[in-house]
Amino acid sequence: MNNKFTLSRRSLLKTGAGAAAMLATPALLTKGFAADTLTVSDYGGVFEQGFRLAFYDPFEKEFGVKINVVTVSPDPVPQYKLNVDTKSYLADIVMLTPEHVDRLGKMGNYLEDLNLKIDNPENYVKGSITNKFGGIEVYALALGYRKDAMGDNVPKNWVDFWNVDKFKGRRGLWHSPVLTLETALLADGVAPDKLYPLDVDRAFKSLDKIRDHIDIWWTSGAQATQLAQSGELDMMSIWSTRAQAAVDGGAPVGIAWDQGFYNIDGWTIPAGSPKIELSRKFIQYCMNAERQAKFTDVLSAGPVNTKAYDYIKKERAELLPTTPEHVKGMQPLNAAYWGEHQDALTERFEKWLLG
């Protein structure tokens, strides 16, 4: 996605003991890369702004390494595979999610080991650090709505979103089976802890009930922000980071966290990249709690290093998806399920949209 996620906050933040065993020790960060550049692929927009504040500019200043930024494609896996296969590295470091990593892992050796050194793995969100993946931030797919359009009758979850008689207005959903099928099942009464493996036939039957009321199938985070800001939609699925960007821009947008999902964005290195060591140093640099706290000034995502909350103002922390009030109504995206089924279900989803 071009913006491009178990269950109290305390249990969420405990990493299994096995994670530490997968981590190797990197070379120490050293200066002396003045002639070098790194190209990093992120989701653009407010993500690039937040990461530039927290990581890119400080790394440039400290190590003399120029950071160039390109934007991740909506589904980065095909391009990632092609780049490694052809050795045409468009980026040295690429932001992915755990399900992307899982899919690439099934295809072959497409990801370099990061060799991260994590002294206190218990301080990191579960699943955010592996040999191939260095998690940076936690985001959520939630239900966004326009306060000026909905008034006192605001939708609180996907059951409400599907109730077109009680909650009237223009609607939007993500143009993807990922999480759209989950929301359809929740709207149809499936219990959150019974979602996986997905009852795909039931999910599409549920989508059949709402499809005539979906005015826009949005395709990118930037588009979702614009739709929320302009008021073109009254309610929609939306990444929490993008919804908050609309709020920060002055739009009367509310976020309903109940029945939402969270996921993790993180750094990876394409296999065979010519700048593996420098890329590893940059990713290690991003693991620092105080640095991760800085991106929350502009990006409303939860840092994976939970010690970052020691450096985040309380009023800002309350807007992030990993606060106790928000995370209690959400659950993680099942990365393993989508790593196995995304290609087939995307094909079925696209045929359904055209049908």
State the average pLDDT over residues 60-66.
Answer: 97
Instruction: Report the percent of the chain where pLDDT is more than 90.
Output: 76
Average pLDDT of the chain, as a whole number: 89
- 9-138+264-328 — its CATH code? 3.40.190.10
Round to the nearest angstrom and report the end-to-end CA distance of the chain: 23
Query: Tell me, what's the pLDDT at 7?
Result: 30
Reply yes or no on whether the pLDDT at 15 is more than 80. no
Task: Tell me the pLDDT band of 35, cut-offs 50, 70 and 90.
Answer: low
Task: Tell me the pLDDT band of 5, cut-offs 50, 70 and 90.
Answer: very low
Q: For the chain, what are the domain ranges?
A: 9-138+264-328, 140-262+333-354
Residue ranges of alpha helices (H) inside the chain are 9-12, 18-21, 46-51, 57-63, 76-86, 98-107, 147-150, 158-162, 180-187, 200-210, 221-230, 240-248, 276-285, 289-295, 314-317, 324-327, 335-354
Could you check whether the bond before residue 321 is cis, i.e. omega within 30 degrees of 0?
A: no
Q: Which residues pair with 143 in a beta bridge?
A: 237, 256
How remote is the C-alpha of 292 from its chain's centroid?
Answer: 15
Between 242 and 184, residue with greater pLDDT: 184
How wide is the angle at C-alpha 137 spanned by C-alphas 132 and 138, nearest 5°? 105
pLDDT, tens digit, 9 for 90 and up, residues 304-327: 999 999 999 998 988 898 787 887
Distances (CA, A) of 172 to 53, 145, 227: 32, 10, 9
In angstroms, rounded to a whole number, what is the distance separating the alpha carbons of residues 169 and 25?
A: 54
Does 140-262+333-354 match 9-138+264-328 at the fold level?
yes
Reply yes or no on whether the pLDDT at 2 is more than 90. no
State the average pLDDT over residues 28-45.
Answer: 72
Domain 140-262+333-354 listed as CATH 3.40.190.10:
yes
pLDDT, tens digit, 9 for 90 and up, residues 96-140: 999 999 999 999 999 999 999 999 999 998 889 999 999 999 999
How many CB atoms lie under 10 A from the CB of residue 309? Answer: 21
**What value does the CA radius of gyration of the chain take, rounded to a whole number of Å?**
20
Query: Tell me, what's the pLDDT at 324?
Result: 73
